[in-house]
Structure 1
């Protein structure tokens, strides 16, 4: 069996952060059943441009492989009945909504424990379910600003800059998945579930890590650094070669020794200005120009090959195409291909979360409400039961929603 094959998760999720968190659980074998609101067309991620055809977008495929889909209107009595029947047969309810919404639509542990005392209710929200910002919507870009990330990123003379990736969303998804797994472990041990109150804001603040500790304990005020330099270790930054950029990371003194010897500047090792981290940090404005001049004399490939052989941490600064075609990317099986009725096939990066030696299996993302019949059978509904629920609007417009 795959690691999570005995876990069923009801996912009231959409767009990025929530689906990103649960896709790793689905890749590990969990039965992740997406609940899609029918009157608004389901998960908005289905329509994200520029690579979308109708309800099929490559954005949606990225976050929803290996999942199932059911259109369900939780605002109707019939839809609520189906949801509650699913809770009785599931291990977790997972959502990414505004902080006040889980309680409003009654998907917290207190709302559901009478149906299943062991249910785990994981709510990934922008700002959490408590606090003065709980009712505010939270988006990655805004969170990168609020949490100080943008103030730390970019050129020292440039404007505050966000990461090129939605890292708050993605890290929040990972935190939600980890919290959910911790909750499942406790629920299976004790027979009692509970709430996971996870937020993008908490995630972003917690990732300030050691700069936060430096500030809180020593008044440190972090700032942007030239060429993405490490705030305290020198040299540890990007350098420009004759044909591009690469990174050198001297995180230990032995790497500094190897670097100086490999690039023909061994005399720097006897210079009292550069003897250790503290000295090199104090005299970095004298050291870095020497290194920059030497690195400008040859190519990225030359320096990366030379330093790698010398045992100095280094690597080229790839563009996305280069990263996806790196030999190591392919060797690690980080590109998966799934068949798709609209796209023919979809190639995408895989989850880094792994257990055991069995290769992961990948199935394309579900069409909207694709798994309606399977879920009705799972719940043991008769044809008459289904007909009554359809007539009551539990699933929205079945003709529209069912592929």
Structure 2
């Protein structure tokens, strides 16, 4: 494994985040070299350690998938002694990340203002569901709640069906990516000016931002995007079709070049000449008629044959495959080195998704699997200057847990 410097080597992050959006964002920062110290609740640890239905030797699959390249310390932040430990660590940290409900860190005495007093140049990032203030700020929420509120769920589903939750936690992922982006940009700003700052981002704003360009269409037309199943509000043909074998593929004609190529590829140049389908605006106005015609055409051959024909015609199309097939069998996914393996002391070999960015000169490094609860408490406290005696006292008080036998004894 390479140990060459990475873009974020030398930066230390105290990570208070839980569940998905925050932990995935800090995992991305860890992949790029940051030392991410996961500060966990003393007894049960981070919430995602105990949720979900898939466990490997007692380890939550959810936790394993989003906490690599981190170290874990168990710390009781509800105790004054625990707050003092955190602030002592924060004094020399570069970044603090948290995604508790708004106001929680301030009540605990570890919010931005408290940290800034001991570390004026800190970058302090707060992730929330709706925002730190406002009429919804106090309400509980998670990814599907944000999908519902943001408009994502309303535009997802069949035309004659109910709204449908997106299969992946997209608002969580969007917030994770925004967190990694914002922290990186704030660190760059600090390098140039010496100034730290507070960052605030929300799943709601991130989810709405992901609606581009539907936002422009909605604001200018005065109407919300309709539910069209796999179809598209402004491009036709652009949806799922079924081959003779019953399997589906997705076809995307988003330019006139692709439409003409499709008509030639399926040996129906008459469709391109038909005044109902001549332009994309015409096709949108007559989508039902065109889709009915294409359904009849595609019902004549298996999906694999159509995909071969469409590839030779240079028309965008792909089979609709489930995630297991994508991860296990797809040759492009394998070529892209999408999966990495890390060894975990209890879960064994853990496969997980790699960082989806190739840095030519400073590639991501996968140094360690997700930590066991409190695995690095002793080492971390020592690195922050806590003596053996201080660490023993903290453990005796029940403020920390996880000291080595030699120190604890």
TM-score, with structure 1 as normaliser = 0.94
Using the TM superposition, name which of 338-347 and 123-132 deviates more.
Answer: 338-347
Asked whether 1:341 is paired with 2:375, we answer: no
What is the CA-CA distance between 1:398 and the residue it aligns to? 5.9
Structure 1 match to 2:202: 199
Give the corresponding residue for 2:27: 23
Pair 1:388 & 2:390 matched? no
The 2-side partners of 1:15 and 1:394 are apart by: 23
Taking structure 1 as reference, are residues 55 and 94 closer, same or farther at Cα in structure 2, changes over 3 Å only?
farther
Candidates 221, 232, 235, aligned match of 2:234: 232
- 1:15 is displaced (CA, Å) by 1.5
Give the Cα separation in 1 of the matches to 2:63 and 2:339: 17
Residue 157 of structure 1, CA deviation: 1.4
SS for the counterpart of 1:114 is helix
Q: Is structure 2 residue 202 aligned with structure 1 residue 184? A: no
Give the TM-score, by structure 2 length.
0.93
Q: Aligned with 2:125: secondary structure? A: strand
The 5 A counterparts of 1:44-83 are 44-52=47-55, 56-83=59-86
Q: Deviations over 1:308-335 (max 9, x none)?
A: 1211111000111211121011111101
Aligned with 2:101 (options 79, 98, 102) = 98
Q: Deviations over 1:63-105 (max 9, x none)?
A: 0011100001112222122211221221100011112223222
Q: Is the 8 A contact 1:257 1:269 kept in 2?
A: yes
| 1:210-289 matches, cutoff 5 A | 210-226=213-229, 228-243=230-245, 244-289=247-292
In 2, Cα distance between the equivalents of 1:249 and 1:42? 46
Structure 2: distance between partners of 1:291 and 1:53? 46
- Of 157, 164, 171, 1:154 maps to 157
Per-residue Cα deviation, 1:324-350 (whole angstroms, up to 9, x for no partner): 121011111101111123232111221
Moved more, 91-100 or 75-84: 75-84
Shift of 1:391: 2.5
The answer (yes or no) to whether the contact 1:169–1:200 under 8 Å persists in 2 is: yes
The 8 Å contact of residues 260 and 268 in structure 1, kept in 2 or not, is answered as: yes
Matched-pair contact (CA < 8 Å) for 1:99–1:136: no
1:150 is paired with a residue of what secondary structure? coil
Q: How does 1:122-161 map to 2 (within 5 A)?
A: 122-161=125-164
Contact 2:74 2:400 in 1 (8 A): yes
Moved more, 321-330 or 48-57: 48-57
**Distance in 1 (alpha carbons) for counterparts of 2:356 and 2:297:** 37
1:365 to 367, 370, 373: 370
Q: Please, which of 344, 348, 354 is the counterpart of residue 350 of structure 1?
A: 354
1:364, CA displacement in angstroms? 0.9
* Other-structure match for 2:88: 85
Deviations 1:200-235 (A, max 9, x none): 111122222222222223212211014x11111111
Aligned partners of 2:18 and 2:166: how far apart in 1? 22
Aligned counterpart, 1:36: 40
Partner of 2:334: 330
Equivalent of 1:110 in 108, 113, 117: 113
**Structure 1 residue 399, shift from structure 2 partner:** 9.2
The range that moved more, 388-397 or 338-347, is 388-397
Answer yes or no: is the 8 Å Cα contact 1:129–1:197 preserved in 2: yes
Check the 8 A contact 2:143/2:170 in 1, yes or no. yes
| Inter-partner Cα distance in structure 2 for 1:73 and 1:159 | 44
Decide which moves more: 203-212 or 26-35: 203-212
User: How far off is 1:302 after superposition?
Assistant: 0.8
Deviation, structure 1 residue 374: 1.5
* Alpha-carbon distance change, 21 to 233 in structure 1, aligned in 2, over 3 angstroms: same
**Does structure 2 conserve the Cα–Cα contact (< 8 Å) formed by 1:47 and 1:54?**
no
1:282-321 matches, within 5 Å, as: 282-321=285-324
CA distance in 2 between counterparts of 1:229 and 1:13 reads: 37
In structure 2, the residue matched to 1:374 is 379
Structure 1 residue 7 corresponds to structure 2 residue 7: no
CA distance in 2, matches of 1:33, 1:305: 49
